[in-house]
A and B are shown apart, each in its own frame.
Chain A
Amino acid sequence: MDEILKTCLYDRHVQLSAKMEPFAGYWMPISYSGIIEEHQAVRNHSGMFDVSHMGEIRITGKDAIPFVEFITTNEINSKPFGKVIYGLFLYDNGTCVDDLLVYKVASDELFLVVNASNVAKDYTWIVEHTEGFEVLVKNESDDWSEVAVQGPETEKIVMEMMQIDLTDLTFYTFKNVIWNGHKLLISRTGYTGEDGFEIYGDAIAIPEVWDLLLSSGKILPCGLGCRDTLRFEASLPLYGHEISDQILPIEAGLGSFVKMEKPDFIGKKALLAQKTAGLVHKLVGIELTERAIPRQGYEVYSGDQMIGHVTTGYLSISTDKCIANALIATKYAIIGDQISVLIRKKMVPGVIRNRQYYKKNYKQ
């Protein structure tokens, strides 16, 4: 086992008495004041996450755009520079290598942000597919630190404290700024279902941003615990749960990020074949009609028939409902149908529902 790494904010987390756990090779804060309080802060006010563990990969060269069009599912060519684009890397068989954000910097430069736990795998996979393209692939993950500031009051507080104008940043766009002599990349993106920003900088700049924003007294430090409850309620997928190398993106309800009309991309042939043959699984929402918590891996039944399993489930903090995402056999994926979840040897009844558990609160 390799040594567990520390982000540039590690000492601050310890000082704040955060509950720390190893995650994706880093010591990461799970919670500070408590998952529920942190979750509510992001929904109602503002919270800040250390997400320095995320992976950053830069693609440069003449063929940067056609190359990333080829290795990801979404459409990049028609989007303006300064746009952030959500997409997926797929294997030839159509299952997911990872999901990612593509920052469209220039005609010869794209900045990719990938899951921390997948950086090494993604980098290798990208490099393996460069043949025939004039591109350079650079894993810059060690050079970047990152905080995510999220919640309805975030914009006002960040602009006041940092003395920068971010009103021109629309949803899923970014800009580079010089702040206190530091180069920062700021995007109006996030993983909570709320308005907010992700701020990238080096290991000198990000602690300055963190300290300044916390000194407002209006932003709560938030850990990975509530990051998961927030993203789940907003029906945002997490690699290893809703997407994986066993799941097709079109089974996971991510069809709108898979542009089948693109001439070619890795995995397209397999997806076309699967669409023709019919999908085996489908990701659905489940709401239990008795109080119990459906957790990842729990089996889902229609009558006596096991039809799938829970990918993520919680007693939802924002809605107080016992809800879950579940990957089930397609023929059972009918909204309103009765199912049950096996929880500690008990069949707990529930119904199939949509996955819009919480209405996203984005600023367009």
Chain B
Amino acid sequence: MSKVVEGLYYAQSHEWLKVEGNIGIIGVSDFAQAQLGSIVFVDLPEVGIQVTKEVEFGAVESVKAASDLLSPISGVVIENNQAVIDDPELINKDAFANWLIKVEIANPSEIDQLLSAADYRSISK
């Protein structure tokens, strides 16, 4: 049974979004990391790159497979997590503590289109 954290927003494609004012913190869910297995590489956008809701912005990769990351929200990247780039397996250890990118949210109304923790729990069994 994978972990789902309350108070976050979730995408069908297994990314999570934490909202802090106009900043969105994005990561992948515990379910996603468990499905993928040992993560050996993450490909994240540079600061200043524009990401778009439901559009690929990078990838998390296991030995065998690359899994595209789709942004749960549109915005501009203000930070990427160097710790995760240096040690991708951190995501396997704790997918919620180890975020991937922070964005300045362009359109807050997009948040409402995401799933609640309860809804996400029901699709990620």
Contacts and interface: CB of A to CB of B under 8 A. Distances in A.
Given A34-B37, A34-B38, A35-B37, A344 B63 contact: no
A220 to B, nearest CB: 15
A293 B61 contact: yes
Given A293-B61, A293-B66, A344-B59, A315 B40 contact: yes
Contacts of A253: none
Nearest to A229: B63
A81 to B, nearest CB: 40
Interface in A214-245: 225, 228-229
Contacts of A35: 37-38, 62-64
Nearest to B58: A344
Interface string B21-54: 0000000000000000110110100000000000
A344 B37 CA distance: 21
A118 B63 CA distance: 26
A295 B63 contact: no
B41 A36 contact: no
B56 interface: yes
B68 interface: yes
Nearest to B57: A344
Contacts of B58: 344
Contacts, number: 38
Given A293-B61, A344-B56, A31 B66 contact: no
Interface in A68-122: none
B68 A292 contact: no
A266 interface: no
Contacts of A301: none
Interface string A280-310: 0000000000011101000000000000000
Chain B contact surface mostly: strand
A9 to B, nearest CB: 21
Q: How large is the interface on A (under 10, 10 to 19, 20 to 34, 35 or more residues)?
A: 10 to 19
B41 A293 contact: yes
A27 to B, nearest CB: 17
Given A35-B38, A344-B56, A292 B43 contact: yes
Interface string A14-26: 0000010000000
A67 interface: no
Contact of B41 (A34, A292, A317): A292
Nearest to A30: B64
A314 interface: yes
Nearest to A291: B41
Contacts of A343: 43
B66 A36 contact: no
Nearest to A298: B66
A225 B37 CA distance: 12
Given A36-B63, A225-B63, A344 B68 contact: yes
Contacts of A34: 37-38
Interface in B64-91: 64, 66, 68
A228 B43 CA distance: 23
B53 to A, nearest CB: 18
Nearest to B92: A34
Contact of A31 (B37, B41, B68): B37
Contact of A317 (B56, B59, B63, B66): B63
A35 B61 CA distance: 13
Contacts of A314: 63
A317 B64 CA distance: 11
Given A344-B56, A344-B59, A225 B64 contact: yes
Contact of B43 (A31, A225, A295, A344): A344
Nearest to B40: A315
B37 to A, nearest CB: 7
Contacts of B61: 293, 315
13 contacts: A31-B37, A34-B38, A35-B62, A35-B63, A35-B64, A36-B38, A291-B41, A293-B61, A293-B66, A295-B66, A315-B40, A317-B63, A343-B43
Given A315-B41, A344-B56, 11 more contacts: A30-B64, A35-B63, A36-B63, A291-B41, A292-B41, A292-B43, A293-B40, A315-B40, A317-B63, A344-B66, A344-B68
A-B pairs, top 9 by smallest CB distance, nearest first, are A35-B63, A315-B40, A293-B61, A293-B41, A34-B38, A36-B38, A315-B41, A225-B64, A295-B66
